[in-house]
């Protein structure tokens, strides 16, 4: 059962990477983004993929909550005495203790994101326009940025946790694996946090005729 959490996490990380590459086209090449979105929307495997991802996400959420409750019961009423890591890694400690919060924020973002861009799904050639309209709301823009930060924190903690769960982490490769995981967290989290801001800036420049 414990192995299911890193397995579901791996599947979700792969999805996030693929989704991020596709979303990046909205900024780099809007025409290519519309072609990509149209092809994706008409793919016969999209609905089974969405259902599978939903089941994986629900499984990851349920298992994570179950483990959180079990850990708190095992710890009893003893509170954390400090917010810094015993290994001298305060960010690692913070990301671990903030994992439930970052996960909840990502869940909120997912609900809002799907309501804006999935139900109903934009028509062919209107995906970028729908994205721009979604980001026109300051509250939605703030949520998208905070979700990127939450994703980075979640990955920061999850990458090392995944390595430990699969038995990859040892004294010989710990430094390299941690660096790789934290680089992934910074790049993916930073990318998702910056993308909505850059899209809003691009729209403002287009409106200004620059």
pLDDT for 32 equals 94
Q: Where are the domains of the chain?
A: 4-208
Coil vs helix vs strand at 85: coil
Residues 66-78 as b/e (b if ≥16 CB within 10 A, e otherwise) read eeeeeeeeeeeee
Tokens of 178: 């941690």
Evaluated on CA atoms 31, 36, 37, 41, the torsion sign reads positive
- All residue ranges of the chain with pLDDT < 70 are 1-2, 75-89, 92, 167, 169-170, 207-210
pTM of this structure: 0.82
Alpha-carbon distances, residue 63 vs 3, 78, 90, 108, 181 (angstroms): 10, 23, 26, 18, 22
Alpha-carbon distances, residue 204 vs 57, 121, 132 (angstroms): 35, 24, 10
Evaluated on CA atoms 142, 147, 150, 156, the torsion sign reads negative
pLDDT for 79 equals 47
Query: What pLDDT, in 10s, does the model give residues 86-133?
Result: 455 677 677 777 778 888 899 999 999 999 888 888 888 899 999 999
> What is the average pLDDT value for the chain, to the nearest integer?
83
> Among 3.30.1380.10, 3.50.50.60, 1.25.40.10, 1.20.1300.10, what is the CATH number of 4-208?
1.20.1300.10
CA distance 143 to 146: 5
pLDDT for 66 equals 85
CA distance 184 to 128: 26
């Amino acid at each position: 059962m414990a192995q299911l959490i890193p397995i579901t996490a791996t599947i979700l990380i792969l999805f996030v990477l693929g989704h991020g590459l596709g979303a990046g086209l909205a900024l780099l090449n809007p025409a290519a983004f519309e072609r990509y979105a149209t092809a994706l929307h008409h793919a016969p495997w999209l609905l089974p993929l969405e259902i599978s991802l939903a089941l994986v996400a629900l499984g990851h959420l349920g298992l994570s909550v179950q483990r959180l409750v079990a850990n708190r019961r095992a710890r009893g009423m003893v509170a954390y005495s400090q917010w810094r890591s015993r290994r001298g890694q305060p960010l690692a400690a913070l990301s671990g203790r903030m994992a439930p919060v970052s996960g909840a924020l990502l869940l909120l973002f997912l609900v809002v994101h799907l309501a804006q861009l999935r139900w109903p799904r934009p028509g062919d050639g209107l995906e970028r326009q729908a994205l721009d309209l979604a980001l026109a709301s300051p509250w939605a823009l703030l949520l998208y940025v905070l979700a990127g930060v939450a994703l980075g924190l979640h990955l920061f903690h999850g990458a090392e946790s995944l390595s430990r769960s699969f038995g990859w982490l040892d004294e010989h490769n710990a430094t390299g694996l941690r660096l790789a995981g934290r680089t992934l967290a910074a790049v993916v989290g930073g990318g998702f946090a910056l993308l909505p801001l850059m899209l809003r800036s691009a729209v403002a420049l287009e409106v200004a005729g620059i």
